[in-house]
Amino acid sequence: MNTTRREVLMFAGGSAVGVLFTPAPWRLITDSALWSENWPGIPAPGHGEIRTRYTNCSLCTAGCAVRARCVGDQPVQLSGVSGHPLTHGALCPFGLAGHHLPYLPSRVKQGPAKEAADAVANGIAKCGAGECVATLDLQPARTASWTYRRAMAALKNGRYVAPSGDSSVAVDLSQARTVLSFGVPVLDGWGTPGNVNTARGGFRLIQIEAVESRTATMADQWLRIRPGSEDALAQALAGTAPIATAADATGLATSEIVALIAQLEHDGPTLVLGSSRLASSGRTVIARREAPVPAEWQKAAPVTALASLPDRSVRVLLIDESAQGEYLPWHTIEKKLVSDNPVIVAFAWSREGYARHANFVLPVGVYPEVAGDIPSAIDSVAATFRIAAPLVSPPADMVKPEQFVAAAAGLATGDTLRERADAIHKAARGSLFTYADAKSQALKDVTADAFWKALNAGACWIDAPDDKAPVAQLAAAGTESRPAEQADLPLAVVVSRELTPGSPILSKLYQESNLRLAPNRVALNPACGLEDGAQAVFETLLGKCHVGVTLDAGVPAGVVQVSGSPAVLDLCAAGVRAKVVRV
> C-beta of 513: minimal distance to other proteins in Å?
12
The secondary structure of residue 470, as a DSSP letter, is B
Other beta carbons within 10 Å of 35: 9
Gap between the Cα atoms of 317 and 313, Å rounded: 10
- Name which of 80 and 185 has its Cβ closer to other proteins: 80
> C-beta of 517: minimal distance to other proteins in Å?
22
Burial class (CB in 10 A: 0-12, 13-18, 19+), 271: buried
- Name which of 44 and 442 has its Cβ closer to other proteins: 44
> C-beta of 98: minimal distance to other proteins in Å?
13
Q: Which residues are paired to 75 by β-bridges?
A: 70
Gap between the Cα atoms of 88 and 456, Å rounded: 20
- Name which of 46 and 465 has its Cβ closer to other proteins: 46
> DSSP of 546-563, one letter per residue?
EEEEEE-TTSPTTEEEEE
Which spans of this chain sit near other proteins (rule: CB under 8 A)?
6-8, 10-19, 21-24, 27-28, 30-32, 34-35, 37-38, 42, 44-45, 50, 52, 76-77, 97, 505
Distances (CA, A) of 329 to 357, 487, 572: 11, 25, 7
- Name which of 71 and 464 has its Cβ closer to other proteins: 71
Residues 313/338, Cβ–Cβ less than 8 Å: yes
- Name which of 47 and 156 has its Cβ closer to other proteins: 47
- Name which of 13 and 242 has its Cβ closer to other proteins: 13
> C-beta of 3: minimal distance to other proteins in Å?
8
Helices (H), 89-160: 93-96, 113-126, 143-154
> C-beta of 214: minimal distance to other proteins in Å?
19
> C-beta of 69: minimal distance to other proteins in Å?
8
> DSSP of 28-64, one letter per residue?
HHHHHHHHHHT-TTS-----S-EEEEEEE--SSTT--
Residues 116/345, Cβ–Cβ less than 8 Å: yes
Gap between the Cα atoms of 53 and 64, Å rounded: 14
> C-beta of 511: minimal distance to other proteins in Å?
15
Which positions ≥6 away from 296 have C-beta within 8 Å? none
Gap between the Cα atoms of 279 and 476, Å rounded: 8
- Name which of 52 and 110 has its Cβ closer to other proteins: 52
